[in-house]
Amino acid sequence: MGADHTHQAVPSDMTLRVKALESLLVEKGLVDPAALDALVDTYENKVGPRNGAKVVARAWVDPEYKARLLADAPAAIAELGYRPEQGEQMMVLENTPEVHNMVVCTLCSCYPWPVLGLPPVWYKSAPYRSRAVIDPRGVLKEFGLTLPDEVEVRVWDSTAEMRYIVLPERPEGTGGMSEEELQTLVSRDSMVGVAKVDRA
């Protein structure tokens, strides 16, 4: 572990407590593991990333908000009511026709949870964590995203102190859409940088 890259090498006290509680509740028949999985899925895919989608859609429709977001992400994100509880820094990376950003945590699973919720299983997996750095284009291809050679791919390694969120490109042909409609287009994967946003 590098001095400038602090990660949790062992499960945190909170993780262990949650595991212990889950085991006990399942053992006593108080909760169904499938129901817990469904709840976690909700936070991974539905509730969590909706916060990020609101941030992205606002940036697409409001250039001044976008400027604030790129300059000081925590403050701009807090304008919409989402705040990191542990004071971790967040930075927003803008994708353009020339530059594609993607985010990884090579050592564990650091993730901008105030805007994306819980990290998906693949984000925490050893293959993604190692290969995103070694072969980012290959990993993106597996996600179904093939980038032209002239597009520069930048990989950002998250830490406990610095979490990254990708601001994806606004798709062509969405000029007439409202901010609310735009929110529905923004996927979690596009904010991790393993997908583009498609027009619905």
User: Can you give the binding site for Fe ion, defined by CB under 5 A?
Assistant: 7, 105, 107-108, 110
| Residue whose CB is less far from Fe ion, 31 or 160 | 160
The span from the CA of 129 to the CA of 53, in Å, is 24
What 8-state DSSP symbol labels residue 97? S
For the CB of residue 31, give the shortest distance to Fe ion in the complex, in Å. 29
Supply the minimum distance, in Å, between the C-beta of residue 37 and Fe ion.
Answer: 24
Give the chain's length. 200
The one-character DSSP state at 80 is T
Joined tokens for residue 197: 């946003």
Complex with Fe ion: residue 147 or 160, whichever CB lies closer: 160
Smallest gap from residue 90 Cβ to Fe ion (A): 14
Least separation in angstroms between residue 87's CB and Fe ion is 16
Q: Which residue in the block uniquely carries the two structure tokens 């901008």?
A: 112
Known catalytic residues are 105, 108-110
Which helix H or strand E contains 131, and what residues bound it?
A: helix 126-134
Token code pair at residue 15: 């993780």
Q: Which residue has the tokens 């923004």?
A: 186
Name residue 166's beta-bridge partners: 93
Q: CA-CA distance, 51 to 28, in Å (whole number)?
A: 35
Tokens of 92: 């927003």
- In the complex with Fe ion, which residue's Cβ is closer, 5 or 50? 5
110 vs 139, beta carbon nearer Fe ion: 110
Nearest to 9 by CA among 160, 192, 156, 158: 160
